[in-house]
Amino acid sequence: MHEAKKTLAKDMRFFAEDVNNKGIKRYYLFTSSALETLIKEYQAKGHPICFYEIMPSTCCTYPTDKEACEQMLANFGTRLYLDVEFPDNADFNMHEGISYIQIGSAIAAEIQKYLEETFKCSCELIVLKSHRKGKFSWHMIAKTFKDGKEYLFKDSLSILTVINNWFDTADLDKFIYFEDDVEKNAIDVGVYTTHRLYRTIHSSKFGKKMPLEFATYFPVRKNPDVPTFEDTLCLQTLENRELYDIEASISSSKLVGTTLRKRKRNSPTEKVSRRKYEITPQNMAAEMFFSNWGVWGEMKKFLVKEWPLIEFEKTSFKSITLLYIPLDKDFRCPENKGSGGNGQHRSNHGYLLVRPKLGTINWKCHDKQCQGTKIVRFPFQLCNKLRRIYTHRYCVKVDKL
């Protein structure tokens, strides 16, 4: 099948179809219109619809696939896409009083703003949804335009570079939630790996009858037309379109992957420095809260014991439920992956995300190869005290004027 791609029309691309719940797939070399016709036939006959786009990769090393990828990359570019999902009982510490639907809208607003500011373009998202019992799920596909032309990315690994920079510069910690005490982000970064499959509209995962359907455009249109099947695909032909000059990341499901080559001079995007937290009325209020709170002293005693070089004056009080503390003088690695003694790094340092409400400290590392998290808990008695404080209901007395 891969050999056939060499001689067939430029608008042919690969699709995959789930045929059972064990991951076995059937592969097609189709135009988008041919797949749309097949999906309509399946709908008429009541057959399961489980189709995926196969993303070509500049990192392809498989002898039988490499030339097919090169052919597709010569004819297609990729729109930036997001996979957003989280359970309906997700513990979003930063989202008290905000509905889950609003979280989806907030993520759409963040990526649209980032793309427009970074690439000096106009951006519209096609938002597809596949909510099911117990879980919210969106697929967001970005269309970006400059000087009247749509611009695409080379492949999913180029998109990973953009996503890395977005996570590095934007305040995306607010989309972190906990599930069974495991920290996760509502934005799935595992969808940018080599040869990744991305579900098409009208398709469900095998055995589930929850098809991906059109939800809205973002920004929301007053009288939206439903997009065509072709327009909901990530891969788009390069005819009358341009490519962003973005370097590809090494295939990885981890954030902040290393790059394949040095950035070209005068590149339209520049590597941004690590985000500096801004002072806002909200985090100023949080700092006042902690500075007058006796339990904060107990927390600091434990933190000093675990991280003797900690500098509390650098603490960023994000909210009363989240503190960010850089460990600029502590080169220890939570995963012991450094090249120095006892697994320390020679230059990279770590940072802490302190979550008093949960009684936990997430120890992370800035090194690109160390994207894991070591969770450290406060002592049992202190942890229980914190949980009681954060879950207790307090009476508020309001004096009459």
Tell me if 232 sits within 8 A of 128, measured CB to CB: yes
- 397: pLDDT confidence band, cut at 50, 70 and 90? low
- 94: pLDDT confidence band, cut at 50, 70 and 90? low
Nearest to 50 by CA among 37, 64, 39: 39
pLDDT of residue 241: 95
Burial status of residue 319 (CB atoms within 10 A of its CB: 0-12, 13-18, 19 or more) = middle
Tell me if 271 sits within 8 A of 166, measured CB to CB: no
pLDDT of residue 101: 79
Is the pLDDT reported for residue 218 higher than 60? yes
CA distance 365 to 353: 11
Tell me the pLDDT of the chain averaged across its residues.
82
pLDDT of residue 194: 78
Which two three-digit tokens encode residue 230?
């072709």
pLDDT of residue 368: 64
- 265: pLDDT confidence band, cut at 50, 70 and 90? very low
User: Cα 292 from chain centroid?
Assistant: 36
Is the pTM above the cut of 0.85?
no
At 134-189, the pLDDT tens digits run 899 999 999 999 999 999 999 999 998 999 889 888 878 788 887 666 678 899 88
- 361: pLDDT confidence band, cut at 50, 70 and 90? very high
Mean pLDDT of 74-80: 94
Tell me if 307 sits within 8 A of 334, measured CB to CB: no
Instruction: Kindly report the length of the chain.
Output: 401
The answer for residues whose C-beta is within 8 angstroms of residue 74's C-beta and 6 or more apart is: none
